[in-house]
């Protein structure tokens, strides 16, 4: 059997790139998958057969390291979390929401700030402490300007040999950023822009496009994320600086809400945790707690 990666899924067919020959093979999945209610996903590494008539069949799905429900994609290595610093203004609450969901899926996030050229010197000074905070808690933060080619080469290094999804607000410059990385994308960039844009293309398929030495997901439906996969006890693990301090809380399973001798609340009071991060955490926690139970 041959080994490949699914780059596109459309109308019951799976388009598999042979990892050795780099040839694209149109495949169907084995009937056994349907009986077991297993669905091959874009990003899956698979074993497949090609019959003498040229038809391909996915025979085995190799173990996944992660999978997303929306968009349906597997084995994601990296999420580029793209936010503009202006037009639209930097939205810290939405950033924390994306980071929480990405952390829950055990995907490495890289924060990409676009349109840095639009900030005045005074505005750059004001946003600098927030940027520094996210770096101090362990996140890579790349400041970019597609017009000035600022930071583009750094993103290329992160994409290399990885499966990458891109997410963020509408209008933050995702398509311009991708085009700055690889100007040969052209129509692919337009497709990605539409799929990641204003929610009008929710029925589009998911596809992996080659970008530099990596693969980037054309991912409809990844512009907004909910917290429906998280339980209250899971949330603090998705806030990396909370999780690090939770062992010092008085109570095991502390939700860092109203409990006494909470190390997280103490860190907020002493300046070790950014107040906006804690406020956003409490809002997300309330949202999760008020969610209707699943039946």
* Per-residue model confidence as pLDDT tens digits over 200-234: 444 467 889 888 789 988 655 554 467 888 899 99
| Co-location of 123 and 207 in the same domain | yes
Assigned domain for 23 exists: yes
| Co-location of 21 and 119 in the same domain | no
Check residue 204 and give its pLDDT: 61
| Co-location of 125 and 13 in the same domain | no
Assigned domain for 225 exists: no
Cβ atoms of 276 and 92 closer than 8 Å = yes
| Co-location of 237 and 157 in the same domain | no
Q: Which of 25, 43, 62 is the last residue of a domain?
A: 62
Check residue 15 and give its pLDDT: 96
Collect the ranges in the chain with pLDDT lower than 50: 187-190, 192-193, 195-203, 223-224
Assigned domain for 201 exists: yes
Check residue 74 and give its pLDDT: 94
User: CATH number of the domain that 142 lies in?
Assistant: 3.40.50.300
User: CATH number of the domain that 267 lies in?
Assistant: 1.10.40.50
| Co-location of 13 and 133 in the same domain | no
User: Which domain range does residue 271 map to?
Assistant: 232-289
| Co-location of 77 and 213 in the same domain | yes
Assigned domain for 100 exists: yes
Assigned domain for 27 exists: yes
| Co-location of 12 and 96 in the same domain | no
Check residue 129 and give its pLDDT: 96
183: closest CA among 157, 208, 146? 146
The count of C-alpha atoms lying within 13 angstroms of the C-alpha of 26, restricted to the half-sphere facing its C-beta, is 7
In total, how many domains does the chain have? 3
**At CB < 8 A and 24+ separation, what contacts does 9-17 make?**
9/40, 9/41, 9/42, 9/72, 9/205, 9/206, 10/205, 14/40, 14/46, 14/58, 16/46, 16/48, 16/56, 16/58
Q: Which of 167, 186, 218 is the last residue of a domain?
A: 218
| Co-location of 206 and 113 in the same domain | yes
| Co-location of 212 and 78 in the same domain | yes
Check residue 185 and give its pLDDT: 64
What digits encode the pLDDT tens for the residues 107-156? 999 999 988 999 999 999 999 999 999 999 999 999 988 676 778 788 88
CA distance 28 to 42: 13
Can you give the pTM of this predicted structure?
Answer: 0.86
Q: Using alpha carbons, list the distances in angstroms from residue 91 to 81, 87, 130, 241, 276.
A: 12, 11, 11, 20, 11
Assigned domain for 68 exists: no
Q: Which of 188, 218, 248 is the last residue of a domain?
A: 218
| Co-location of 43 and 132 in the same domain | no
Check residue 189 and give its pLDDT: 45
CA distance 243 to 234: 10
Assigned domain for 227 exists: no
| Co-location of 252 and 274 in the same domain | yes
| Co-location of 164 and 266 in the same domain | no
């Amino acid at each position: 059997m041959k080994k490949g990666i699914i780059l596109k899924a459309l109308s019951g067919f799976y388009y598999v790139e042979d990892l050795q020959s780099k040839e694209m093979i149109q495949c169907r999945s084995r009937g056994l998958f349907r009986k077991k209610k297993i669905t091959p996903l874009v990003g899956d590494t698979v074993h497949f057969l090609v019959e003498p008539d040229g038809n391909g069949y996915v025979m085995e799905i190799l173990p996944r390291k992660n999978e997303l429900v929306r968009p349906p994609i597997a084995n994601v290595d990296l999420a580029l979390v793209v936010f503009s610093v202006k037009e639209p203004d930097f939205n810290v609450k939405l950033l924390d929401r994306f980071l929480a969901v990405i952390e829950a899926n055990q995907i490495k996030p890289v924060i990409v700030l676009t349109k840095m050229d639009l900030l005045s010197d005074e505005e750059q000074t004001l946003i600098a402490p927030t940027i520094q905070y996210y770096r101090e808690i362990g996140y890579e933060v790349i400041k970019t300007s597609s017009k000035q080619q600022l930071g583009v080469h750094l993103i290329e290094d992160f994409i290399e040999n990885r499966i990458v999804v891109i997410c963020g607000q509408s209008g933050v410059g995702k398509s311009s950023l991708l085009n700055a990385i690889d100007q040969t994308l052209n129509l692919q960039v337009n497709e990605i822009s539409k799929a990641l844009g204003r929610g009008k293309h929710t029925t589009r398929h998911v596809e992996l496009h080659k970008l530099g030495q990596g693969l980037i997901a054309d991912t409809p439906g990844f512009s907004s994320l909910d917290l429906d996969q998280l339980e209250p006890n899971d949330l603090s693990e998705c806030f990396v600086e909370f999780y690090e301090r939770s062992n010092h809380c008085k109570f095991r399973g502390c939700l860092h809400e109203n409990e006494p001798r909470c190390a997280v609340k103490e860190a907020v009071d002493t300046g070790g945790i950014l107040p906006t991060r804690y406020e956003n955490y409490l809002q997300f926690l309330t949202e999760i707690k008020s969610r209707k139970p699943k039946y």
